[in-house]
């Protein structure tokens, strides 16, 4: 049976060893993300003496990492479901539609946004973590949580590109539409929160005026867009020769 992914890759046979690896990969990644979410989101900062720490309970929902992880909470279980159905030859039109949707979610939103977000985070962390948030906030978050959110996440998305067969689609528009919709919605949320409320997603936004914030968001979007295009060269490098062999 053949499947038609968003990136137009024929399904590999149900006996493919990579299928088993992918099922374990999605299962473990889902469990890790759920555990990290439970631990970090249940930390109560509302009783702290510092008002900047207290409002972080609400500010954290504006973090780019939080937005990406919400998409990941959709992507990982759906990927497990699609892989399971395909493995046992139950690749219906409904599953095929989910498969295309999750592929767009990964290549259009998750990979470019996560990679850039993780790089930005560690650059700021090693330069001046006070640009991320008030330093006392980091007393509440165990160090392993930072690596779960900003190191393991990068490893997961790279492994996904390595483990899941993909081919550059004839048109990159679906992914670009998803990317621009996500970044535009996030930018609007940041601009509104920064200009109309006291909630700033990151401390460097609190030190910036609205023009500077818009410039930062535009520059960040440009970097994400570059990564979006670069990922397809990586996918071509990893999968092109193998998929051509399967096709022949």
Q: Which domain holds residue 169?
A: 17-247
Q: Are 106 and 214 in contact (CB under 8 A)?
A: no
Give how many domains the chain has, as a whole number. Answer: 1
Q: Is the dihedral of CA 154, 151, 116, 200 positive or negative?
A: positive
Q: How sure is the predictor about 247, in pLDDT bands with cuts at 50, 70 and 90?
A: low
In this predicted model, what pLDDT tens digit does every residue of 151-166 receive, in sequence order? 999 999 999 999 999 9
List, as one string, the DSSP characters of 125-161.
HHHHGGGTS-TTHHHHS-HHHHHHHHTHHHHHHHHHH
Q: Residue 76: inside a domain, yes or no?
A: yes
In this predicted model, what pLDDT tens digit does every residue of 174-227 receive, in sequence order? 999 999 999 999 999 999 998 888 788 898 998 899 999 999 999 999 999 999
Q: Residue 6: inside a domain, yes or no?
A: no
For residue 240, what pLDDT is reported?
81
List, as one string, the DSSP characters of 33-62.
HHHHHHHHHT---TT-SSHHHHTHHHHGGG
**Best CA proximity match to 225, nearest among 175, 155, 186, 188:** 175
- Token pair 């067969």 is found at 165
In this predicted model, what pLDDT tens digit does every residue of 7-44 receive, in sequence order? 545 445 445 788 899 999 999 999 999 999 998 888 88
Q: Residue 4: inside a domain, yes or no?
A: no
For residue 196, what pLDDT is reported?
84
């Amino acid at each position: 049976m053949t499947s038609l992914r968003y990136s137009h890759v024929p399904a590999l046979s149900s006996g493919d060893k990579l299928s088993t690896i992918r099922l374990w990969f999605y299962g473990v990644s889902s469990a890790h993300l759920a555990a990290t979410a439970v631990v970090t989101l249940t930390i109560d900062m509302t009783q702290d003496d510092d008002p900047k720490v207290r409002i972080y309970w609400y500010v954290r929902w504006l973090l780019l990492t939080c937005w990406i992880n919400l998409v990941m909470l959709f992507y990982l279980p759906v990927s497990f479901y699609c892989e399971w159905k395909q493995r046992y030859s139950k690749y219906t039109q409904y599953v095929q539609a989910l498969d295309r949707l999750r592929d767009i979610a990964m290549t259009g939103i998750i990979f470019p946004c996560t990679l850039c977000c993780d790089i930005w985070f560690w650059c700021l962390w090693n330069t001046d973590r006070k640009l991320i948030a008030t330093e006392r906030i980091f007393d509440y978050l165990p160090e392993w949580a930072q690596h779960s959110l900003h190191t393991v996440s990068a490893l997961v998305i790279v492994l996904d590109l390595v483990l899941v067969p993909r081919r550059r689609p004839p048109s990159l528009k679906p992914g670009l539409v998803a990317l621009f919709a996500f970044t535009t919605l996030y930018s609007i949320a940041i601009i509104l929160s920064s200009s109309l409320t006291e909630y700033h997603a990151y401390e460097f936004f609190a030190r910036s005026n609205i023009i500077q914030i818009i410039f930062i968001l535009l520059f960040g979007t440009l970097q994400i867009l570059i990564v979006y295009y670069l990922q397809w060269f990586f996918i071509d490098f990893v999968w092109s020769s193998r998929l051509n062999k399967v096709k022949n």
